[in-house]
Amino acid sequence: MPTCAPLTLVDTPADPFAPESAPGSAAGTETAQLDVAGDLLTLLRHSTTEPRPDDQLEALTLAVAADLPVLLWGEPGIGKTAALTQLAASLDLPLTTVIASVHEPSDFSGLPVVGDDPAEQGVPMAPPDWAVRLVRAGKGLLFLDELSTAPPAVQAALLRLVLERRIGSLQLPRGVRIVAAANPRGSAADGWELSPPLANRFVHLQWVHDHEVVVRGLGGTWPRATMPRLDPERLPEAVDFARRAVCGLLAARPTLVHRLPSGETRRGGPWPSPRSWDMTLTLIAFATAAGSSRDVLSQLVRGTVGDGPGLELLASLDRLDLPDPETLLADPAGAELPERGDLRQAVLDGVVAAVRARPERSRWDAAWELLVKAVETGAPDLVVVPATTLATLRQEDWDVPASIESLAGAVGLSRRADQAAERTAARLAEAAARAGR
C-alpha cells in the first residue's frame, strides 16, 4: 500500500484579483484609520477669513489691481506662498504656480517646433502647457516662485514674460496678473542675485510676519485679501495728483530719473529708472483713488524706486497738499495751518519766501499775523527762523505791527530754552571729559 507524503504548508503569493479583506480584518482596520486621519487633516486645514487691516496685504492687492508685476521678498516659511494662494481664491483667479529654478530658458521663451515647410512658414516658438491654460481661462494669477534661485539664463528668458506678458508666440490675456516670490540670497537654496533688468520690472515688497496675524491664523482665521475700492469720482484727481508729484520731484531732482546702484545686491532690488517712475506714478494714482494710508503708499513707492528716492517723493507728496502762501497772505485770519511740525515749518518758510519775492507792507503785516497764529496754536520754536528772516525784510517806512509784541515773548522764551539746553549739554560733556581723565 503506497504511503502518502507528509503534508507541508507552503507560502503562496496573494492573489491580485482576490476581493478586499472583509471588514474587521487587519487590512480593513488600517484603511479605516487612514480615512479617519484624512478627516482629521480636513478639519486642521479648514479655516475662515475676516476683514482685518493689513498694510502689506493691501499694498499687494493694490499693485495687483494696477496690473504691475510684484516680487515678494521674505525668509523661507514666512507665508508668501500661502498669501498668494489666499489672494487668488479671494479674487476668484485660477492660480498657476511655476518654479522658475527648475525650468529651462526655452520654457519661457518658447520651444521651437519645426513645421512642414520651415523655409516658408518659419519655426514657431510653442508655449508651455501652463501658458496655454492661462490663455484659455482668460484670467489668472501667475505665481513665479523661488525667483532668486533661477540662474541668469532663466532670468534673461523671464524678461519678456514679466514686461510684455509674452511666451514664445503666445500673448497672455489682460486678465492675468504676475506675482513672484524670492528668498534673500543668504537664505535661498543656491541663490543668485537678481539681474538689474529683471529687478527693475517688479514692485518689490518686503513680506514679514505679524505675530497677531499668525496666532489668529493658526487658530483658524486669516486676514481676507480684497481688491481695493476705487472711488470713481476721484479718478481724474488721483491721476493729476500722481503726475504732479512725480513730475514735480524729477523736475527739481533730475539726477533721480535714472540711477543704477553700484552694488550688485542693491541692483537686484528697487532702483529709479523711467520705467520704475512710471510704475510709481500708477501706484500713487491707485493709492489715492483707493484712499490708502501713508504706510501702504510708502511700501509701494519705496518698493518701486528704492528707499532714498522713495522717501524724497513721500516728502514732496506732503508738500503738494500744503496751502498756497498767497492764499494765506490774502486771509491770515481765516488761515488753517498744518498740525505736523515739519509741514507747518514748510508753510511758514513759504510765506516768508513769498513776502521776500514781493515785499509790500500789507503782505509783511499779514505774515506777522500768521506767525502769531502759529505760536498760539503750536510750538513756538517753529517761528524763530521765519520771524528772524521776516524782520530783516522790514523797510524804513514800515511801522512795527503790534502783533510782534505777543510774538516776542514766545520767541524769546524759545531762544532762552535753546540756549539753556546748549549750556546743559556743554556742562555734561565737560563733566564726562573730566570723568574720563
Res 117: pLDDT: 65
CB contact at 8 A, 123 and 169: no
* Low-confidence winner among 113-127, 184-198, 210-224 (lowest mean pLDDT): 113-127
Give 283's contacts (C-beta < 8 A, 6+ positions apart): 62, 63, 66, 68, 203, 297, 300, 301, 304
Whether 98 shows a pLDDT value over 50: the answer reads yes
Of 153-157, 256-260, 277-281, 320-324, least confident by mean pLDDT is 320-324
What is the per-residue pLDDT for 109? 79
- Under DSSP, is residue 73 helix (H, G, I), strand (E, B) or coil? strand
* Confidence grade of residue 410 (pLDDT, cut at 50, 70, 90): low
Percent of the chain exceeding pLDDT 70 equals 81
For 204-228, the three-class secondary structure string (H helix, E strand, C coil) is: EEECCCCHHHHHHHHCCEEECCCCC
Which residue in 127, 61, 139 sits closest to 95, CA to CA? Answer: 139
Amino acid at 280: T
On average, the pLDDT of the chain sits at 82
Residue 16 in this model has a pLDDT that exceeds 60? no
Query: pLDDT grade, residue 83 (50/70/90)?
Result: confident
- The pLDDT of residue 286 is above 60: yes
pLDDT at 417: 39
pLDDT greater than 50 at residue 420:
no
Least confident of 7-21, 270-284, 295-309, 386-400: 7-21
Residues whose CB falls within 8 Å of the CB of residue 409, separated by 6 or more in sequence, listed in order: none
Residue scoring higher pLDDT (406 or 234): 234
pTM of the model: 0.71
Convert the pLDDT of each residue in 322-343 to its tens digit. 888 888 999 988 888 888 887 8
Band of pLDDT at residue 433, cut at 50, 70 and 90: low
Query: Which tops the pLDDT comparison, 324 or 187?
Result: 324
pLDDT at 302: 96
Burial label, 126 (beta-carbon count in 10 A; 0-12, 13-18, 19+)? middle
Cα torsion 228, 229, 234, 238 to 10°: value is 0
Amino acid 141: pLDDT: 94
- pLDDT score recorded for residue 17: 47
Work out the number of other CB atoms within 10 angstroms of the CB of residue 54: 18
The pLDDT tens digits for 214-252 are: 888 888 888 887 788 999 999 999 999 999 999 988 988
Contacts of 184 by beta carbon, 8 Å cutoff, 6+ apart: 73, 75, 148, 191
Q: How many angstroms separate the CA atoms of 390 and 387, rounded? A: 5
- Mean predicted confidence (pLDDT) in 343-359: 88
pLDDT at 7 over 80: no
pLDDT in tens, 28-43: 677 788 889 999 999 9
How confident is residue 26, by pLDDT bands cut at 50, 70 and 90? low
Residue with more model confidence, 336 or 117: 336
Say which range, 122-136, 351-365, 395-409, 421-435, has the weakest mean pLDDT.
421-435
Q: Give the start-end residues of each E strand in 25-138.
A: 48-50, 70-73, 95-99, 111-112, 125-126
Give the mean pLDDT of 381-404: 80
Q: In this structure, are residues 317 and 280 in contact, taking their beta carbons and an 8 Å threshold?
A: no
Residue 108 near residue 158 (C-beta atoms within 8 A): yes
Most confident of 44-53, 141-150, 428-437: 141-150
> In this predicted structure, what is the pLDDT of residue 115?
65
Share of the chain above pLDDT 90, in %: 32
Q: What angle do CA 207, 288, 94 make, to 5 degrees?
A: 50
Comparing CA positions, the residue from 297, 294, 255 lying closest to residue 280 is 297
Which of 106-120, 223-237, 394-408 has maximum average pLDDT?
Answer: 223-237
DSSP 6: P
pLDDT surpassing 70 at residue 431: no
Residue 128: which of 145, 113, 150 has the closest Cα? 113
User: Binning pLDDT at 50, 70 and 90, where does residue 186 land?
Assistant: low
**Which residue type does 149 have?**
T
pLDDT bucket at 269, cuts 50 / 70 / 90 = very high
